[in-house]
Amino acid sequence: MEIQYIPVDKIVLDERNPRIAHTTEPLRGGANQDFISLALGYSAPEDEDRGPATTYSSLKASIRAHQGLISPIIVTPRDDDTYLVIEGNTRVAIYRELSTENAPGNWATIPAIVQLDLNEEGEHAIRLQAHLVGPRPWRPYAKAKYLHDLYVLNKLSITQILDFCGGSARRREIEEYIEAYKDMQAYYMPLIKDAPPDYSRFSAFVELQKPQIKQGIARAGFTLDDFARWVDDSKVYPLNTVRQLPRILSHAEGRKQFLSHDAREALKVLEQPSSNAVIKTASLEQLASGFTAKLRSLSWSEVQSLMEDREGSQAQSLIDCFEELRVLVKQLEHEVDV
């Protein structure tokens, strides 16, 4: 497909861009181009260790260093001789910033693929392929909102959404994101009222969709309103501890520690040291070395077994261990950076 060089001043950023739709939709009269540019910077894909600002800055630094783009944007012509961005809004915003900063390079035109007569379904296909299963994912809440709107407002079936993704997405993941979005809108958003939402809490509502979590909460006599309050009060932290709630709430002392403190304190009660004398007396270094050796010796059949039973106790134990290690490693790296 032919790449054209389009004048940047003829390009219109899309306020419907799913990455920022949750930010622009509440604005009366729509969002202007400057607001969209600011929102794109804030809503850039998150780097797990540094957050969205660093990833945006890294992309900007890369474009500055190369004095241009490696991948062209995708636009569609409008009736007023301008072009609407379908894919690449953030890159256009960066071009405008670099032009304003008089950075070395030609920022007046940008490489683009022009899609003529692009219908709404074509737009959805481009966005989903690039950001749901592609190399430039949206932040989870933005992804969920887009999937929800396609499913609920646009009346697309899950099968149609999967077709747009080229079959690369998992049905279960799409269904979880849609249901998680519904639950967050129903229980968390009314709770915070006029306070700015913390969209990072969305992953707790994704975990809520895992098997038996809602049933475990209800069985213990609590509601999803209670769950939303726990999320808002940071009682479930790290957020993956949501999946431990049925265990915590069914254990008298664990439940007491959770309601008084948080899930971490509750899990300390549930996960008492092993009665195995060797494990009980082993140092952290010995345990880490042993665990690493065990992982390296896993056979392919053992890995396949874990993949086939992602919700099983072994897989969940590994995921829990990973999350705890990730938090600790981030703290260690932070201290080194300081």
325 band by pLDDT with thresholds 50, 70 and 90? confident
Residue with the bigger pLDDT between 119 and 145: it is 145
pLDDT at position 53 is 44
Determine which of 203-212, 245-254, 301-310 has the lowest per-residue pLDDT on average.
301-310
Architecture, CATH, for domain 4-134: Alpha-Beta Complex (3.90)
Of 37-41, 116-120, 158-162, 238-242, minimum mean pLDDT range: 37-41
> For residue 263, what pLDDT is reported?
93
pLDDT tens-digit map of 92-139: 888 988 999 999 999 999 999 898 877 777 777 777 766 665 545 678
Question: What was the pLDDT predicted at 169?
Answer: 60
The domain spans of the chain are: 4-134, 171-270, 284-337
DSSP string across 183-219: HIIIIIHHHHTTSPP-GGGHHHHHHTTSTTHHHHHHH
Q: How much helix, strand and coil, in percent to the nearest 5, is found in the chain?
A: 60, 5, 35
CA dist 321 and 223 (Å) reads: 28
Beta bridge partners of 11: 83
pLDDT of residue 124: 74
Q: Please report which confidence band the pLDDT of residue 162 belongs to, taking 50, 70 and 90 as the band edges.
A: confident
Report, as an integer, the average pLDDT of 195-214.
Answer: 89
Distance between CA atoms of residues 99 and 105, nearest Å? 9
Q: How confident is the model at residue 273 (pLDDT cuts 50, 70, 90)?
A: low
Average pLDDT, the chain: 81
Most confident region among 34-38, 50-54, 56-60 by mean pLDDT? 56-60
Report the pLDDT averaged over residues 68-95: 88
7, β-bridge pairs: 109
